[in-house]
């Protein structure tokens, strides 16, 4: 059931307004043929509205949507030949699994024998062979979601849209299906556009992620790029956990910003050139910090004196809440080990971290 290479999608200055409120406020985005792109953001960020406009269920207030270079804004949903998977499965309760999956084929006038063959292939792809005669009520939530997936791909679309499809499932099943989605994407070779508010889900599954906020795309990139090089404070705080340290720029040296923070000179990576005296915010990830008395500390590291405010043992990790001189709280996470000394609340310590892990946002 291998499909042709997936479709490319181009959004140009896409807007959707409801009265005076802009749900999508001017999104421009290129989705490459065959890639798995996730629209990630909090509720109200515009990600689902963007997806519904691509599907044709919402009409843009302005802008354009092109699939394989052809504008589809004026084209009804059924002519766009797009697969769609919803969070609530949207299965017909009175139809069997095979009839549900075969429904889009019937609509397209596919002969009965051919329908049966394609339905069987789709069931194999989602690991549900032999389930064709069951009804949705006889299936678990995860099985129903697999049936919804099979129905969306049975007619071999070049583009598959998914709106929070795993949101109603428990954590373990959701994690299992994330890996299944990756496998399915690799097997089919088609373009996936996936909507979620779950950052771990996006990081696990995506080739690229478009982070949305207030109807706009805040940053687009590979998961590791967004995690290691967030473009602003929103992206840094929404994807993973981040520490934020207020600082004042004191100079530039070899393309690295030198900023004063809590009386210490901290060096940070920055694509721009802030002016001396600018007030800025530095960010680094909790797992990139370490206690400076360890053997892995380097002379070139950033360092800061702090006091342990809270220490929590969480199995594989110890999580420390540290208080800087001005009261700013910093989180440090380190792997727990019988060989590693635990820090006590009230202890004065020095922390260290790499300049490469310090970003100015």
Q: What is the pLDDT of residues 240-251, one digit of tens each?
A: 899 999 999 999
Residues in CB range of 140: below 8 A, 6 or more apart:
none
Output the average pLDDT for the chain.
Answer: 91
Place of tokens 């989605």: 181
Q: Where are the domains of the chain?
A: 9-230, 241-360
Q: How far apart are CA 222 and CA 208, in angstroms?
A: 4
Query: pLDDT tier at 1 (50, 70, 90 boundaries)?
Result: very low
Q: What is the pTM of this model?
A: 0.89
Q: Are 73 and 64 in contact (CB under 8 A)?
A: yes
Q: How confident is the model at residue 2 (pLDDT cuts 50, 70, 90)?
A: very low
Q: pLDDT tens across 102-156, in order? A: 999 999 999 999 999 999 999 999 989 999 999 999 998 889 989 999 999 999 9
Interatomic CA distance for residues 3 and 5, integer angstroms: 6
pLDDT at 287 > cutoff 70: yes
Continuous H helices in the chain: 47-55, 97-107, 112-125, 141-153, 171-188, 199-205, 223-228, 233-238
CATH number of 241-360: 2.40.50.140
Secondary-structure class of domain 9-230 per CATH: alpha beta
Looking at residue 273, its pLDDT comes to 83
| pLDDT-based confidence at residue 4 (cuts at 50, 70, 90) | low
pLDDT of residue 86: 87
Q: What is the mean pLDDT of residues 213-225?
A: 96
Supply the pLDDT for residue 167: 78
- CA proximity to 270, closest of 287, 251, 289, 285: 251
Confidence of residue 299 (pLDDT cuts 50, 70, 90): low
Indicate the burial class of 269 (C-beta count within 10 angstroms; 0-12, 13-18, 19 or more): middle
pLDDT confidence tier of residue 197, bands split at 50, 70 and 90: very high
Give the residue with greater pLDDT, 44 vs 299: 44
Q: What residues does 91 pair with on adjacent strands?
A: none
Q: What 3-state DSSP class applies to 114?
A: helix
Query: Using CA of residue 9, residue 88, residue 222, residue 157, what is the dihedral sign?
Result: negative
DSSP 8-state assignment for residue 68: T
pLDDT > 90: percent of the chain: 76
More reliable by pLDDT, 315 or 321: 321
* Per-residue pLDDT tens digits for 56-92: 999 999 999 999 999 999 999 989 999 999 888 889 9
How much of the chain exceeds pLDDT 70, in percent? 97
68 burial (CB, 10 Å; 0-12 / 13-18 / 19+) is: middle
pLDDT exceeds 50 at position 3: no
| pLDDT value of position 298 | 65
Question: What per-residue confidence (pLDDT) applies to 209?
Answer: 98
Residue 296 has pLDDT above 70, yes or no: no
């Amino acid at each position: 059931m291998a499909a042709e290479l997936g479709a490319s999608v181009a959004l140009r200055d896409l807007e959707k307004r409801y009265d005076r409120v802009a749900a999508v406020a001017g999104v421009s985005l290129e989705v490459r043929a065959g890639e798995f792109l996730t629209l990630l953001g909090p509720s109200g960020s515009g990600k689902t509205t963007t997806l519904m406009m691509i599907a044709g269920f919402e009409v843009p207030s302005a802008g354009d949507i092109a699939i394989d270079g052809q504008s589809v804004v004026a084209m009804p949903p059924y002519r766009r030949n797009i697969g769609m998977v919803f969070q609530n499965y949207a299965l017909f309760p009175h139809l069997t699994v095979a009839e549900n999956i075969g429904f889009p084929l019937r609509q397209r006038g596919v002969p009965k024998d051919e329908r049966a063959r394609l339905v069987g292939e789709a069931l194999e792809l989602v690991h549900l062979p032999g389930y064709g005669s069951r009804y949705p009520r006889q299936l678990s939530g995860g099985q129903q979601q697999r049936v919804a997936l099979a129905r969306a791909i049975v007619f071999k679309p070049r583009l598959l849209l998914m709106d929070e499809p795993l949101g109603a499932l428990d954590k373990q099943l959701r994690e299992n299906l994330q890996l299944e989605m990756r496998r399915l994407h690799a097997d089919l070779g088609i373009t996936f556009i996936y909507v979620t508010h779950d950052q771990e889900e996006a990081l696990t599954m995506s080739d690229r992620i478009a982070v949305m906020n207030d109807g706009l795309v805040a940053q687009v990139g590979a998961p590791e790029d967004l995690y290691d090089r967030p473009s602003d404070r929103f992206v840094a705080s929404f994807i993973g956990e981040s520490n934020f340290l207020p600082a004042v720029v004191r100079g530039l040296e070899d393309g690295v910003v030198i900023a004063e923070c809590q009386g210490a000179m901290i060096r940070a990576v920055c694509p721009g050139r802030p002016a001396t005296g600018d007030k800025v915010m530095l960010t680094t990830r909790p797992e990139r910090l370490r206690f400076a008395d360890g053997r892995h500390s380097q002379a070139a590291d950033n360092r800061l004196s702090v006091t342990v405010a809270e220490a929590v043992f969480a199995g594989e990790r110890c999580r420390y809440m540290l208080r800087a001189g001005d009261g700013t709280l910093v989180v440090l996470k380190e792997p727990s080990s019988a060989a590693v000394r635990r820090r006590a609340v009230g202890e004065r310590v020095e922390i260290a971290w790499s300049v490469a892990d310090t970003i100015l946002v």
